[in-house]
Amino acid sequence: MLLLIGVISFGLAFIGSAVGLILGHLRLPLLIQYLGSAPAGAACNLLVSGVGAMSGTVRHMIGGRVSVSCLVLMGLPSVVGAALAAFLFTRHVSHIYAYFVIGVMLVISGINLLWKNDTDGPKGPAATPNVLLEILIGLGLGALAAVTGLMLGSLRLPMMIKWLRIDPRVAVGSNMAIGCMTALVAATTSFFSAENLEWGAIQQALLVLAPPTILGGYTGSWITGRLRKETVQTLAGWIIVVTGVLMTYESVREAARKPTAEVFDFMEEDDPMSADGDDD
């Protein structure tokens, strides 16, 4: 199963890296099933996505497709949000409802990219960017990344293209760089704050999944510089829409299979020993 996840991870990283994504949402349920724990699966998925995004980021930086202003205004707050959420909230937030909300938002964002393909505007950031709004977006998406085990670059990318008016190719590279920073910090914090993790299984998963994901992220980012910016935006829109549909479907299916109590407290079923220490 782990080898199969590795093959899938390479394909996801290759396809997603072309538009600044790693598409770890399709890897996450497989990792949770393999590791038998939602916290371990989420943290491991973030780390795999982070190292895959790192290789793609290097390629995008070489191609001049990473914006320093985006890294400062959205990247640093995203890192802070990811660290705080991983430490405070990952054990108390239901990933089922989070995936549903995120899935719907992705569908809307993707359709917006496809419906209004206005890439003839300015290639750089707006002359007077809304700094406060960008910081809040970074904090919010960073926190969601830690809670869900996803980099959420598919939510960040449309904002960068539409709101910051960045060339889609530059937005792709910057988005991957921010996702890399966020994922690595969130994964590290989650590993330190989580309890009763099977470290042997996690290390084995990382050793098998990291190399193909790194290779996929690096080779896929090569495509971005050879596509027209209109093509990049259209491709990103379709991938984001499909991602949103799959996430929404998965959340609805999983919620239908679980009792209401388990939906609100999904972490307890992953750690049957957690209730032993609470006699209240």
Domain presence at residue 280: no
pLDDT of amino acid 210: 94
Please write down the HEC assignment for all residues of the chain.
CHHHHHHHHHHHHHHHHCCCCCCCCCCHHHHHHHHCCHHHHHHHHHHHHHHHHHHHHHHHHHCCCCCHHHHHHHHHHHHHHHHHHHHHCCCCCCHHHHHHHHHHHHHHHHHHHHHCCCCCCCCCCCCCCCHHHHHHHHHHHHHHHHHHCCCCHHHHHHHHHHCCCCCHHHHHHHHHHHHHHHHHHHHHHHHHHCCCCCHHHHHHHHHHHHHHHHHHHHHHHHHHCCCCHHHHHHHHHHHHHHHHHHHHHHHHHHHHHCCHHHHHCCHHHHCCCHHHHCCC
Domain presence at residue 261: yes
Domain presence at residue 262: yes
pLDDT of amino acid 122: 44
Q: Domains in the chain: how many in total?
A: 1
Domain presence at residue 123: yes
- pLDDT tens for 183-237 read 888 888 877 776 777 888 889 999 999 999 999 988 888 888 788 878 888 888 8
Q: In the chain, which residues have pLDDT < 70?
A: 89-95, 116-130, 194, 258-280
Domain presence at residue 90: yes
Range of 178's domain?
A: 2-269
pLDDT of amino acid 68: 87
pLDDT of amino acid 273: 43
Domain presence at residue 274: no
Domain presence at residue 32: yes
- pLDDT tens for 56-80 read 899 889 988 898 888 888 899 999 9
Domain presence at residue 275: no
pLDDT of amino acid 3: 93
pLDDT of amino acid 117: 52
